[in-house]
Each structure stands twice: as C-alpha cells, then as structure tokens.
C-alpha cells in the first residue's frame, strides 16, 4: 500500500497525482540514496508530507518541483537524523530508457557519485539528473547559489579523481572543477551522471 489512506473529494486529486508520479519519485529517491529500500522510505515520507500539505501543492506554480523539493529535504533530514523506517510500496517500477553507454563506465560513475557526501550528491542530482539551474537547485537545498556552485565543483572534482588520473597538462589547478563552466556545470562532452533522462514524467 503506498501513500496515506485517503478518502473524500480533494483526496481523489491527491491519489491521481501520486499514481502518476510514483515511479518518477522512486527513481529520483534511488538516485539520491543509491538504495531502493531506502528510496521507498523516502518516497513514503514524501507522500505523507504532500498529503498533509496538499493545499500548498495544489497552490504551487509547479507541483512537481514542490514534490521534488520535499523528497530532497526528506533525504537530507534522514541522513542527519539517522531515522530508519522500512515500508513496502506495491507495484513494479520499470527502468527508465537508458542511452547506449559503456556499462563498466556507468557502474564506476554510479559508485563515484554514491561515495560523495550527501549534500554534494544531492547537488549533482538536482543539477544534472533533474536538470535544474543553479538558482533552482539552491532553492530546493535551502542554500545560496554560491554554495551550489561550490558543492558542484567539489563533487565533480571528486568524481573525476575517482574515475581516473587528472589530465597530464595539469589543467586541474584552479578554484573551480576542471572543465566546469562559470556555474559549475560540466563540459558538454563529459559523461552524464545517470544516463537515461531527467526522471521527470
């Protein structure tokens, strides 16, 4: 059983929304924590929060962005508090379509991202999986755009170190991550964090 038990007029809208967004929320949660069981915990907590504040969700200009922000903040809270609760969400979630890629590289990349500190990982997920700009990611994370840029640069540098040696020309020196743009985004030719789409539906 997923989500709180609901009944009544407005609850039909909530149930319809959850049915349409459950798969994408679970995928986003799994990317954030690299664990499907913990992802289900996060989604359950997110659905409960959305139900309690359903009026705010309905009033939001972008309900999906509101739900995404709730999920990311639940993830940060769970990491800080060590709160653990196991739930079971029914239904199978199919894998998103994945672009052709070297499976070994994809596995190494996933492991490198999973090893990042929680806020750095969340920043990369929001910037390059959810395709948010710096200001949007900052709003979700509750920090300044400068902090998002700093987390992005440090996280990309850590991923590069994990994936292989630095370029021989020593271009890694400097305040920002090598190959990153002014906002901390990676160069266009680099491997995406999680090939296969943004997780939106």
Tokens of 49: 């929060």
In the prediction, which pLDDT does 47 show? 94
Could you tell me if 158 and 116 are in contact, meaning their C-beta atoms sit under 8 angstroms apart?
Answer: yes
In the prediction, which pLDDT does 36 show? 87
In the prediction, which pLDDT does 169 show? 54
Ordered by start, the domain boundaries in the chain are: 9-81, 101-195
| Residue 129 neighbours by CB under 8 Å, 6+ apart | 28, 31, 193, 194, 198, 199
In the prediction, which pLDDT does 107 show? 76
SS3 call for 15 = helix
- pTM (two decimals): 0.61
Cβ atoms within 10 Å, residue 188: 7
Tens place of pLDDT per residue across the chain (201 aa): 455 544 567 889 999 999 999 999 999 999 988 888 889 999 999 999 999 999 999 999 999 999 999 999 888 876 554 444 444 344 444 444 444 456 766 778 888 888 899 899 999 999 988 999 999 999 999 999 999 999 999 999 999 998 876 555 544 444 444 444 445 554 433 444 543 344 444
CATH class of 101-195: mainly alpha
SS3 call for 189 = coil
| Residue 43 neighbours by CB under 8 Å, 6+ apart | 2, 22, 25, 26, 29, 71, 89
Question: The domain 9-81: what is its CATH number?
Answer: 1.10.1740
DSSP label at residue 8 = S
**In sequence order, what DSSP letters do the residues of 34-98 get, joined into one string?**
S-HHHHHHHHHHHHHHHHHTHHHHHHSS-HHHHHHHHHHHHHHHHHHH---------S--PPPP-
């Amino acid at each position: 059983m997923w989500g709180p038990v609901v009944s009544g007029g407005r609850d039909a809208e909530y149930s319809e929304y959850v049915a349409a967004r459950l798969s994408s929320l679970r995928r986003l949660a799994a990317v954030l924590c690299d664990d499907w069981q913990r992802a289900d915990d996060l989604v359950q907590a997110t659905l409960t929060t959305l139900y309690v504040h359903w009026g705010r969700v309905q009033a939001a200009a972008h309900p999906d962005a509101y739900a995404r922000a709730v999920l990311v903040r639940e993830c940060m809270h769970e990491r800080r508090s060590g709160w653990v609760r196991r739930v079971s969400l029914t239904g199978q979630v199919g894998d998103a379509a994945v672009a052709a890629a070297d499976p070994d590289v994809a596995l190494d990349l996933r492991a490198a991202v999973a090893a990042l500190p929680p806020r750095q990982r969340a920043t990369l997920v929001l910037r390059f999986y959810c395709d948010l700009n710096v200001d949007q990611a900052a709003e979700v994370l509750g920090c300044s755009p400068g902090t998002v840029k700093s987390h992005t640069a440090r996280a990309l540098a850590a991923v590069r170190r994990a994936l292989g040696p630095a370029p021989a020309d020593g271009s890694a020196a400097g305040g920002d991550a090598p190959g990153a743009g002014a906002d901390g985004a990676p160069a266009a030719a680099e491997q995406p964090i999680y090939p296969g789409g943004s997780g939106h539906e």
